[in-house]
Amino acid sequence: MTRTDAGEGAGGPPERARPHPEAGNDVPHGRLSARPSVSPPPVYPPAPGKGSPGTHRLEGRALLRVPPPSQAAAPARPYWLVVVLHGAGGTAEQALTWLLPQAGSGRLLLLAPRAADSTWDVVGGRGPDVARLDAALHGVFRRFPVDPAGVAVAGFSDGASYALSLGLGNGDLFGAVLAFSPGFMAPMVHHGHPRIFVSHGRDDPVLPVGACSRRLVPELVRSGYAVTYREFGGGHEVPPELATEALRWWVDGPRPA
């Protein structure tokens, strides 16, 4: 396994996306408006149903995994949240399987949206998926107190490409990006300085590492992002040990100021 830790968040890079109208803090530019609060919402604890422990389907075809009662965080302590994005042709249920066994924390919420089409709207222009995710996040933040310094976005394959694109454009919301086998990144704007974890299989037949992560990681480092890179002997997959390492890297790492 190749291990590389590089880069210090020294400043946001200039916008380098395809030509488009003046950049703004809106859905067409990939911007999310939902923001968490450490203070419990007025309706906390959540009413039975979508706020109770277990896995729940939210509006906009998203799944929310809430810790079970034996591990549930006390109301006085805010949760952490990971948004998990599936690959092309995948499902929200599938996305949960990569991190759920490794989650192991009563403070960790997992939100898995589903793309409106066969893959995410980073291809062909943003809109439906950004709006759906923003609505789902607003719903979660209304139901649960979430630490603003404890929000991350993760994804596999096309979901990893989308996680990088959303993460770089919303680094003022996401303190970390966990990208498992990404193919590309296409942020329309850049905000904040999220920490980034990238993993990729050396024998990946779907998204070859040489054309993907070995190109993306140096570009991220040159742009001033703090990147941790893991290459492993395998294909197009999320090895459980790397999912565990990525979560520990996020949970144990520095928090945004």
Give the model's pLDDT for residue 219.
97
**Could you tell me if 9 and 226 are in contact, meaning their C-beta atoms sit under 8 angstroms apart?**
yes
* Tokens 């419990």 found at: 40
User: What pLDDT score was predicted for residue 249?
Assistant: 95
Least Cα distance to 209 among 225, 229, 227, 186 occurs for 229
Q: What's the pLDDT at 51?
A: 60
Please name the residue that has the structure tokens 């880069």.
Answer: 7
Burial of 230 (0-12, 13-18, 19+ CB in 10 A): buried
pLDDT recorded at residue 72: 47
The one-digit pLDDT tens for each residue of the chain (257 residues) are 554 555 433 333 333 444 444 556 677 788 999 999 877 555 555 554 556 778 888 876 899 998 875 444 445 578 999 999 999 999 999 999 988 877 766 689 999 999 988 888 875 555 789 999 999 999 999 888 999 999 999 999 999 999 999 999 999 999 999 999 999 998 888 899 999 999 999 999 999 999 999 999 999 999 999 999 999 999 999 999 999 999 999 988 876 55
Q: What are phi and psi of 188, to 5 degrees?
A: -80, -30
Position 185, amino acid: M
| Residue 53 token pair | 């422990």
- In angstroms, the Cα distances linking 17 to 1, 168, 182, 256 are 32, 12, 17, 26
Contact 144, 64 (CB under 8 A): no
What Rg value do the Cα atoms of the chain yield, rounded? Answer: 17
Give me the pLDDT at residue 170, please. Answer: 95
- E-only strand ranges, the chain: 2-6, 54-58, 62-66, 79-85, 108-112, 146-156, 176-180, 195-201, 227-232
| 47 vs 182: CA distance, rounded Å | 38
User: 77 is written with which tokens?
Assistant: 């302590």
User: What is the CB neighbour count within 10 angstroms for residue 8?
Assistant: 11
- Report pLDDT for 13: 38
Quote the pLDDT of residue 104: 67
Distance CA 85, CA 129 (A): 11
Nearest to 83 by CA among 1, 176, 169, 17: 176
Q: What is the pLDDT of residue 211?
A: 97
Confidence (pLDDT) at 128: 86
